[in-house]
Amino acid sequence: MALWNWFGREGSSGFGSSSTAQEVTDGIDATGLTAIVTGATSGIGKETARVLALRGAKVIIPSRTLESGLRVKESLLKENPNAKLEVMEMDLGSMNSVTSFSRSFNSSNRHLNILINNAGIMACPLQLSEDGVELRFATNYLGHFLLTNLLLDKLKTTSKETGIEGRIVNVSSSAHSAADNSWISLEKINNPPKYLLYGAYGRSKLANILHANELSKNLQEEGANVTANSLHPGSMPTNIARHTNLLAIPLKLMKPFIKTIEQGAATTCYVALHPNVKGVYGKYFVDCKETLPSSHAQDKDLGKKLWDFSQDFLKNLNRPK
């Protein structure tokens, strides 16, 4: 048993750091629910999709290429032939691609109950997306911000028609605590005074929390039956760091203390499905427990500033009409 399991303690939810995604959803029937899980072609995203499908949900798997998405679908169906899975093409680093995906999904007659903004890249070299945005910020945050905005009416309509609470789940990271409040401008995002691989990642993950908080405020003011929350899944050996080998040695040393993929997907599945989270807005979860994020992540003015910056930037993009 990993040492992580020895230190993991159950909290008020009844779950802790050693709980798995299957354990936290045991007995939950998600039949009739439809979920979109970004980043479901590997790691905790794939495990999240697997467990949601195991509980009966229909899971949409956005993938940069249909080929890679269909491979994942095939592997999941081998384990669970009854899984309801659909692959659609989308590249979160491209706002055109996100728009195209959302238009296609919204034009269908499908409901949408759960949106899990999970996909992310970590330590890639400095490069800009096709829209001229630092790639991690574009992929980890801005693509998800746009995706959420474009699917929000579908989530609201579904909740009204079914009476079932809609849930938006932003997968963040404890790395958000390394980010400050001085970076919300395109110039600073693209040309920081000093480019640090993990600093850019932390900024994007702080943005994920601020997004969930500001969205929650708007949803509550509107009285919508849709919640938004964020979380830290824990540290685990996924391919999120595939652009660097800097973590190779530390991960080997930390292996006894880090989570498995099954444990890493637990908090995501808990926030997405568990009845304990019904009616909960704008909270940050770690190990299936509400936890306070950094002071910057709790800054309402910073959240509004980021929201306005994101809206203004996307309005100025020449996306197809």
Check pLDDT > 90 for residue 161. Answer: yes
Which of 48-57, 87-96, 145-154, 237-246 is least confident? 237-246
Mean pLDDT of 59-64: 97
Q: Model's pTM, two decimal places?
A: 0.91
Domain ranges for the chain: 3-315
Per the CB < 8 A criterion, the answer to whether 61 and 85 are in contact is yes
| Residue 88 backbone zone (phi > 0: left; psi -120 to 50: alpha; other: beta) | beta
Segment 200-219, tens digit of pLDDT: 899 999 999 999 999 999 99
Check pLDDT > 70 for residue 104. Answer: yes
Mean pLDDT of 3-22: 69
What CA–CA distance (Å, rounded) separates 21 from 291?
A: 19
Assign domain 3-315 one CATH number from 2.60.120.620, 3.30.565.10, 3.40.50.720, 2.30.110.10.
3.40.50.720
289-290: strand order across its sheet? 84-89, 58-63, 34-37, 114-117, 166-171, 226-232, 284-286, 289-290
Residue 18 makes CB contacts below 8 A (sequence gap 6+) with: 2, 4, 5, 8, 263
Check pLDDT > 70 for residue 169. Answer: yes
Mean pLDDT of 110-128: 89
List, by residue number, the catalytic residues: 195
**Given pLDDT bands bounded at 50, 70 and 90, which one contains residue 309?**
very high
Which is nearest to 311 in space by CA: 120, 115, 149, 117? Answer: 149
Check pLDDT > 70 for residue 22. Answer: yes
Which of 57-66, 294-303, 312-321 is least confident? 312-321
Check pLDDT > 90 for residue 3. Answer: no
Segment 255-290, tens digit of pLDDT: 556 899 999 999 999 999 999 999 999 999 999 999
3-state secondary structure the chain: CCHHHHHCCCCCCCCCCCCCHHHHCCCCCCCCCEEEECCCCCHHHHHHHHHHHHCCCEEEEEECCHHHHHHHHHHHHHHCCCCEEEEEECCCCCHHHHHHHHHHHHCCCCCCCEEEECCCCCCCCCCECCCCCEHHHHHHHHHHHHHHHHHHHHHHHHHHHHCCCEEEEEECCHHHHHCCCCCCCHHHHHCCCCCCHHHHHHHHHHHHHHHHHHHHHHHHHHCCCEEEEEEECCCCCCHHHCCCCCCHHHHHHHCCCCCCHHHHCHHHHHHHHCHHHCCCCCCEEECCEECCCCCHHHCHHHHHHHHHHHHHHHHCCCCCC
Check pLDDT > 90 for residue 13. Answer: no
Segment 243-262, tens digit of pLDDT: 444 444 455 555 556 899 99
